[in-house]
Structure 1
Amino acid sequence: MYVSPSLSQGEMVNTLKAFNIRDDKVKNLNIFLCGPIGAGKSSIINTINSILEGQISVGYQGCLDSSVSQTLQFHERQVGNAKDGFLHLVLNDTMGLEIDQSNGVHTDDIITALKGHIKEGYKFDPQTPIDENSTYYRENPSLSDRMHCLVYVIPADKISLMDEFFQKLKTIRDAAYEMDPDLPHVILMTRVDKTCTLTNKNLRYVYNSKKIKDKMEECHQALDVK
């Protein structure tokens, strides 16, 4: 599926609504969001649903720049609504990463979720990842249970301070490539208005900002994701 950035918002929404999965074994495409605490993963999910629903959506409480993860459980959020119909897309939200392994989501849990073993509602334990005896552990995940796209949510204004976070993300990246070499990887930068005076005045200038372009390259070099 490719959605041209030159399309208007309405055209993008219509393109997404018309999208169908060719493989009958897969009901929905699972898009997995991961990143540090306060990066805005839950806010992104709410924003996407607000656009598609045509009204403000606050399905998940999130807080940009929070020092404590607002997501404590594994959430699967279908895109759309019962009235207008759901898209064949599911956004999967997790607890945020932290530098200290005793806090934040355990990288093993993210890798296990990528493989489709974790069920909706699993409560993350920063110090002890899920095991096969958990009621939230799916022993034999199908292709439909696995993640089909990995999205790294990165706060643009903090990239230079994220060396240790990037090491964790690289561990997740390598496990994802091992699981499926063709799995799409996407970097989504948030907080661009905090990074550049041009975008702070008007977000429409985000594609004209040299500073944002430099941050994109910095993020690419750190994570090696195109």
Structure 2
Amino acid sequence: QGCLFALRFMCTVLETPWRDISSTNKQELLRYMNNFQPQNKKVKAIRVLLHGPVGAGKSSFINSVKNILQGKMTNEALASNTASDQSFTKKYQTYKVKKEGRENFYPFVFNDIMGLEDGDGRGVRTDDIKNALKGHVKDGYKFNPASSLADDDPGFISSPSISDRVHVLVCVYSANAAEIKLSVLQKMRKIREAASDLGIPQLAILTHIDEACGETEKNLRNVYRSTYLKKKMGDFSSSLGIPMNCILPVKNYSDEIQLNPDVDTLILSALKLMIDFGDDYADKL
């Protein structure tokens, strides 16, 4: 923790941003979300599956998206604020986002799964994530770290629809975390390989960017000028094999009680890429 604290304040900023987001506009992104419809008419909603180490911010990201799109603070996806090494999420749950002031929902959904934990027999099993990718896992299925979902289990969908399948896989990782433990990294690679075999597009989001870099904490607009965050994203890209242009830094809502346009823009930019990638994949099914 001491090293992370020191690094946080060694964070320096570049004069010129290394990624240009000057044309990114919150209102345009909101209009895009409101108007979006899947290209494939058989797909009810683009399904986004979030995975990653315990405490990376998967549930918080879902809540943050809901906050922005509904224009108010929400907390449907229960997230832990403790430093526990065990996952707070236990079930495979689908989260829909209701359109502000309306009865209908946005045509994209999120699935949050049990976090990846260090060592065997802990956290979600990679076989369960592979089943989820193919659409075999029923909503509400409770993960069992000791055994994978069997095809005769009540929680198993034997003939998944196009909408049951995952359309984009998103790895969530904390910029404020130490180096990924080898066993967790191996699990993440197996999940990536399974998604690649199915042709499922993959992205990553880097959370807690304000906690990791003092300059970004002072001004979130420094995110693409931060040398530390650029290195962190580069290291993550190398270790997992996800291209840099498929890694999006975000700050989730945590202690705020009001919406912040800079927070919103980063999250909406990441969400747009998820939806676009997932929509292109779903259109081919």
TM-score tier (shorter)? over 0.9
Q: Secondary structure at the match of 2:39?
A: coil
Equivalent residue number for residue 160 of structure 1: 179
Change (3 A) 1:145 1:161: closer
TM-score by length of 2: 0.74
CA deviation vs aligned residue, 1:162-193 (integer Å, no higher than 9, x gap): 3332211100000111112xx22101011212
CA deviation vs aligned residue, 1:16-57 (integer Å, no higher than 9, x gap): 111111211111100000001111100000000010001111
TM-score by length of 1: 0.92
| Among 43, 50, 53, the residue aligned to 1:33 | 50
Code of the aligned partner of 1:66 = S
Code of the aligned partner of 1:55 = K
Equivalent residue number for residue 118 of structure 2: 99
After the TM superposition, which residues 78-157 of structure 1 pair with which residues of structure 2 at under 5 Å, given as runs? 78-81=96-99, 83-84=101-102, 85-157=104-176
Task: Say which is worse superposed, 9-18 or 109-118, in terms of deviation.
Answer: 9-18
CA deviation vs aligned residue, 1:109-164 (integer Å, no higher than 9, x gap): 11110110001000000111110111110001122211000000011122524333
Displacement after TM superposition at 1:82 (Å): 7.2
The reply to whether residue 221 of structure 1 matches residue 238 of structure 2 is yes
Equivalent residue number for residue 196 of structure 2: 177
- Aligned partners of 1:172, 1:116: CA distance in 2, in Å? 14
Q: Which has the larger radius of gyration?
A: 2
Task: Say which is worse superposed, 5-14 or 116-125, in terms of deviation.
Answer: 5-14
Assess if the C-alpha contact under 8 Å between 2:30 and 2:69 holds in 1. yes
- Aligned partners of 1:9, 1:77: CA distance in 2, in Å? 23
- Aligned partners of 2:26, 2:71: CA distance in 1, in Å? 11
Code of the aligned partner of 1:208 = R
Code of the aligned partner of 1:151 = V
Higher relative CO (Cα under 8 Å, sequence separation at least 6) belongs to 2
Assess if the C-alpha contact under 8 Å between 2:119 and 2:183 holds in 1. no
Assess if the C-alpha contact under 8 Å between 1:30 and 1:147 holds in 2. yes
CA deviation vs aligned residue, 1:84-125 (integer Å, no higher than 9, x gap): 331110011001010122221111111110110001000000
Equivalent residue number for residue 67 of structure 1: 85
- Aligned partners of 2:112, 2:138: CA distance in 1, in Å? 12
Assess if the C-alpha contact under 8 Å between 1:159 and 1:215 holds in 2. no
Equivalent residue number for residue 216 of structure 2: 199
Percent of aligned pairs sharing the same letter: 37
The reply to whether residue 9 of structure 1 matches residue 35 of structure 2 is no
Task: Say which is worse superposed, 151-160 or 28-37, in terms of deviation.
Answer: 151-160
Q: Secondary structure at the match of 2:177?
A: helix
- Aligned partners of 1:165, 1:48: CA distance in 2, in Å? 26
Structure 2: gaps spanning 5 or more residues: 1-19, 244-285
Assess if the C-alpha contact under 8 Å between 1:149 and 1:184 holds in 2. yes
Let me know the Cα RMSD of the aligned residues: 1.6
- Aligned partners of 2:182, 2:34: CA distance in 1, in Å? 38
Q: Secondary structure at the match of 1:91?
A: strand
Structure 1: gaps spanning 5 or more residues: none
Task: Say which is worse superposed, 198-207 or 183-192, in terms of deviation.
Answer: 198-207
